[in-house]
Structure 1
Amino acid sequence: MGKYDWTSGCVSGAIYNPVSADLNQLISDVYGLSAWTNPLHADVFPGIRKMEAEVVRMCCDLFHGGPQSCGTMTTGGTESIVMACKAYRDRAIHRGIAKPEILAPVTAHAAFDKGAQLLGIRIKHVPIDPVTMRVDIKAMKRMITRNTCMLVGSAPGFAHGVIDPIAEISALGEAWGVPVHVDACLGGFLIPFMEEAGYPLPLFDFRLPGVCSISCDTHKYGFAPKGSSVVLYRHRQYRHHQFFAQPDWPGGIYATPTIAGSRAGGLIATCWAALVHFGRDGYVKSTKAIIDIAKHVEQKCREIPSLEVIGCPEVSIVAFTSKKFNIYSLADKMQKRGWYLDSLQHPSCIHFTAAMAHTLPGVVDKFVSDLKEAAEEMCQAPPSETEGSAALYGTLHSIHDRSIINEMTNAYLDVTYDTGSS
C-alpha cells in the first residue's frame, strides 16, 4: 500500500464553507450517481470499493501509518469505536484471555461503554486530573491487569476539548504489551493539520509505537455527509480481528468488515468526493480558521469574570463553568438568543464547539457579545434553579439511584418514535 496523493485537491485558495453551494452541488451529484450502490458486493460495484480503499488510505497517511497500516469505513464514530473494541476483545480471547477488560478515561466517549455492553467486555474507568482534565497516567498504570485488552486516550475528548497524554499512554501500552486506541473521532480532521495551521501539538498518532488504532470521523471536520467515519490500524493483524466471516452458511460464504452487511455506497462516494474536493491545503485552511475561532472564544471566556474555562482546550471545544450562578441557566439564556451549547456533567459545565459557520463575518463577535451579556444578566438576577435546564440537571445530580435515569432516557427515546396516532 503506497501513499495516496490527494494533496492537490480542488481548492482555489478559498476556505470552503461546508454548506456552500459548490460543495452541496458536488455532494448531490455524486450521491445521485451512487445512491443504489452497495459495497457488500464489491465485484458488482468496483468503483465504490476503490473509493472506500482510497478514503482509508488517505486517512492512514494523515496519521503517519506505515505500509501495513489499514482500516475500514464505518457509519460513524460509535461504530468505529465499537469495531476497535471488537478487534481487541477477539485478539485477547485468541491470546487466552477469557475476560478481556478495557481501560478508558472517565472522559472517554460513551461509545466505549456501549461497545463494552454490546460485546460483553468489562470496562474500567480511569480517573482524570481535576485541573487539566487529562487522564491520570499513574492511575491507569495501577489499573492494568493481565486481562487488559486495550488502553484508550482521546484526541481530544468531547466534553472539554482536551487531549489525553497519548505519548505516555503509548509508552504504557508498549511496556505492558497492550494495544492503545486513540479516539480522534471529533478532532480527526483538525489535529493532523494543526501544525501546518500554526498550532503544533505533541505526537498523537502512529508515530508513537504503542498506538495501534485510531478512530476518525470524516463526517465532522472532514465535511463529508453524516454517516461516515474510519477506524485505522497499525497492522492488518489487528483488522483481521475486526472482520466477521461465516463460511458454512447455506447462502454462501458471508463475510463483512464491519457491523453492517449492506452499506450505503452513496455515503462512501460522497465522503471520497469531499476529501478530494478539499485536499490537504483546503483542510489546513479550514483548520486554521476553526482553531483561530476556538482560541478567540477561549480568550474571551477567560475575560468574563463570572466564567471559568475548564482545563486547557487544545482543539475546537471550549468548556466553561461558573461559581457565581448555575451554568445550565446560562445555557438556557444563550439558547433564547439562538445559540445551542451542550450541557455537561462531572463537573457541571457547558461547551462551545467551533465550526465553519462561526468563521463567517461577525458570527463569533455576536456569540461573544451575547455570552457576555447573558453572564452579566445571570450575575444581576439569577433565575430560579427550579426552571429550565438548571432544574433538569440539578435533579439528575441529586438522584442516587442511577437506574431511574435509565428509565427516564427510555421514556425520552420512546417519545422520539411517537407519531401521535395512538
Structure 2
Amino acid sequence: MTYRHPGTPARRFTYRPMERVLLPGASAFAIGGVLLHASPWFGLGLALAAFVAMWLLTQSRLSAALITGYVSAGAAWYLVAQADQPELVTAGFWCHVIAAWLLAWACVEQLAAIATQSRLYQWILGVLIPVLFGVWLLILWELVTRGLEVPQVLLPSPSQIAQRFTSSTHILWADFRQTFLKAVLIGYTIGCATGFVVAILIDRSPFLQRGLLPIGNLVSALPIVGVAPIMVMWFGFDWPSKAAVVIIMTFFPMLVNTVAGLGAAQAMQHDLMKTYAASYWQSLFKLRIPEAMPFIFNALKINSTLAMIGAIVAEFFGTPTVGMGFRISTEVGRMNVDMVWAEIAVAAMAGSLFYGAIALLERVVTFWHPSVRSS
C-alpha cells in the first residue's frame, strides 16, 4: 500500500497497447477452444486466469505477470502431453495453444512494463524477459512439430534436437574446438589487431588514407565463396585457411571504425593537448584512442558475428573430417537434420556468448561514454 499526501491526485492506471489485446484475446481463444469441443475444464481455467490477470493488472503488474506466467507454464506442460495424441489435436486444441501463447506473451509484456530503480532487479528483468520469450518460442515450435506431425527431415522438434545434442557431445566438442577455438579466435585476433595497427598508420599518413582505404573497401566486398577456395589452396585444408578467411572478413570493419574513431575528438580537446605540449603519441594514447573506444568496440562486436559466419562457410570448401561447417554439409547430405540443428545451436550459443563477453568488456572500458551511463 502506498501513502499519498492529502490533496495529491492518485496515479491513474493506464493499459499499455498490447495489454488491451493479449488478455482479452487469450480468454476469447480459451472459450473458443471449449466451444470447439476441446478440454472444457482446461479452457475455462485459461479464461479464468486471463480475467484474474486483467483484474490484478490494475493493482500490481508483478502479480499479473506471476499468474500469467504460472498458468502459461502449466498450460504448456499439458498441451505438449496432448500433442502426441492425434485424436486430441483438433481445432479446439490449437485455440488453446493460441490462448496459452497469448498468456505467456502477456507475462513478458507485464514484466517489461515494471519500473524499478534497483540495478539488481533491472538486471534480473533484463535476463528473465528474453529467456521466458525464448523458452515459449521453443514450446510453440515443439507443439507445432508434434501436433502437425511435421517430418523430422523437414523440421525436427526441439526435444529431438536436444536428444541428438546430448548423445553427440563428443562430436560437437571436436567441431567447436576446430572451428571456434582455432579458426575463429585466431583469425579474429589477427584480423582485428591488423586492422587497428593499419588504422594508426593511415591516421599518421594522409597518403595511406587516400591509397589504402579504397583497396580495403575492395577487399571487404570480395565474396566468401570466392575467397575460401583460394585460401584452401594457399594454406591447406586445416584450420589456417579458415582463419585466413576470418582475417579478411574482420580486417576492414576494424580499419574503418578505428579511423573514424580517431577523428572523433573535438578541436577543443586537441587544442588542450597542444597547450600541454603533448607529442603525437601522447595525444594518441591519452586522448584519441580513448575517444575511439566506442568505435573500436563497435567493430569488435560486428566482427564477432562475421568471424563465426566466415569460418563456418569456409569449411564448406575443403576441410578435415571435423568442424561445424563440415558437419553441417555432410549431415544435410545424410538427411540427419537434427544433427544439423544441434550444430546450429552450438554456433548460436558460442556466437552469443562471444558477443556478450565483448559487450560486457565494452561497458567496463567505456563506462564514461553517455550511451553506457544512460543504460
Q: Into which bin does the TM-score normalised by the smaller protein fall?
A: under 0.3
Structure 2-normalised TM-score?
0.20
Larger RCO, structure (CA 8 Å, separation 6 or more): 1
Larger Rg computed on CA atoms: 2
The structure where helix makes up a greater share of residues is 2
The structure where strand makes up a greater share of residues is 1
Structure 1-normalised TM-score?
0.19
